[in-house]
Structure 1
């Protein structure tokens, strides 16, 4: 296990490390310079299934709600690291905070490297750090994302923000809830997020959405209310007195 640099060109580079088992994470995070605990925001949700219009509709809530709350709390952000959907949006919006992409190594490509598997995706070039994990299928990185967030945050709060999302987003939210982590659902962002918001309002028929919506750890805020998103996320990232 050795830290290396991923050079994306145009003056952009990120530190990265490959890990093989969870027990390697503490040393890996320390070597990446992420050993000092900080609050964590984990961003999960839409990737390749999001359209350009979907992303355009999220720019205001990210710029006026999510990003300011991250800065207010001094948080580190953890996501899936690929150049698609909300991960692309987070990378383009990053302005100084640590942004850690956690991805299964065989599902992504590095600049100038060989494609490990059919359908592998490029890494998002504005991230500051990457943790590359075992796994050959999308979703294999999910438990690692939870573990990385927990280790970076402890003993500070960690919050999962769910934006849009497909099938894997339900699993990501459920994992966060099992870890005792608050989940902030951005209603109006589409797909899984909107189904969870609908289930909270009494709409039935989607079992994962209904189960998630029923948790007291789930907070639902409309993307159109950017001030409320900022205030709620900032509150969730503030340690209890």
Structure 2
């Protein structure tokens, strides 16, 4: 269970405080970013989800000392970091089932074995949902940190104030809410926060499926010098990248070609793994990236 330096007041008390401050509208709610601005103001907040899980959240802006903000919600010291990006759209039932198993049998156990921190988009959709559910399924204790634009997410104890808001995934342990009201605003923050959390320790980005926002995530993580592992067979962007790697003689989209370009500092920055391969192959790839060696034995479930 996450520990927060600041504890949210009981719900009714919070509503009374908000009502007095004018942060609540006549129906009891205003857009969530206003509530977060009122309550967080770069201070920790304890979120309580319907499943009984709790998480520490903090809102940050461009002026904040990111390391200090992370320390406020209990994320301090250096550790390996696994970044998870992508989606889960337009996948076959077979590929979806295989991907879910991969999260439960590979990604979550690796994080648990290494005491790594996992960083993703934090919402209750796609690979973020899979990551949260996998952590719960193995009874994991590793930090699972969601990074999301404050103007796009819904509080766990309040209905969405407009149709564009998305719920947070309830098995995450921490959330960092960044400035913005558009998906993609979080991409540079996600890469930067992962680097700050690692603080010199190895980090790896794993991507599945995905579209335009995931492509932004990959560019930001590449810019940060983070090795990328693409899960071929998961559809959409992941398959497009895999095809471009396997068949370089064929013309690829300009942005994908740019992503695959390397310099002398990034000779092995991208690896493709196919979902049809044994999970042991992916385990080896990620473990080597996160440890620079392969002496660890990963726990299986």
TM band (smaller chain): over 0.9
- Per the alignment, in what secondary structure is the counterpart of residue 220 of structure 2? helix
- Per the alignment, in what secondary structure is the counterpart of residue 77 of structure 2? coil
Structure 1 window deviating more from structure 2 (213-222 vs 137-146): it is: 213-222
8 A contact 2:49–2:157 mirrored in 1: no
Please state how far the C-alpha of 1:91 moved relative to its aligned partner: 0.4
Tell me the alpha carbon deviations over residues 2-56 of structure 1, each in whole angstroms, 9 at most, x when there is no partner: 1111110232111111111253311111011111111101100015x35583532
TM-score, with normalisation over the residues of structure 1? 0.93
1:217 pairs, out of 254, 269, 272, with 269
* Separation in structure 2 between the aligned mates of residue 67 and residue 61 of structure 1, nearest angstrom: 9
Alignment-derived partner of residue 34 in structure 2: none
> Higher relative contact order by CA 8 Å / sep ≥ 6: 1 or 2?
1
TM-score, with normalisation over the residues of structure 2? 0.75
**1:140–1:190 distance in 2 versus 1, CA, 3 Å:** same
* Separation in structure 1 between the aligned mates of residue 178 and residue 289 of structure 2, nearest angstrom: 28
Please state how far the C-alpha of 1:200 moved relative to its aligned partner: 0.3
Q: Give unmatched runs, 5+ long, in structure 1.
A: none
Structure 1 window deviating more from structure 2 (36-45 vs 197-206): it is: 197-206
Q: Give unmatched runs, 5+ long, in structure 2.
A: 1-41, 263-267, 294-301
8 A contact 2:111–2:117 mirrored in 1: yes
8 A contact 2:91–2:235 mirrored in 1: no
* Separation in structure 2 between the aligned mates of residue 68 and residue 111 of structure 1, nearest angstrom: 27
Tell me the alpha carbon deviations over residues 103-124 of structure 1, each in whole angstroms, 9 at most, x when there is no partner: 0000100122353554110000
2:287 pairs, out of 228, 234, 240, with 234
Tell me the alpha carbon deviations over residues 158-211 of structure 1, each in whole angstroms, 9 at most, x when there is no partner: 111111101111111111111111001111111111110100012423222223
Rg larger for: 2
* Separation in structure 2 between the aligned mates of residue 22 and residue 221 of structure 1, nearest angstrom: 39
Alignment-derived partner of residue 157 in structure 1: 202
> If each structure's strand is expressed as a fraction of its own residues, which one has the higher value?
1
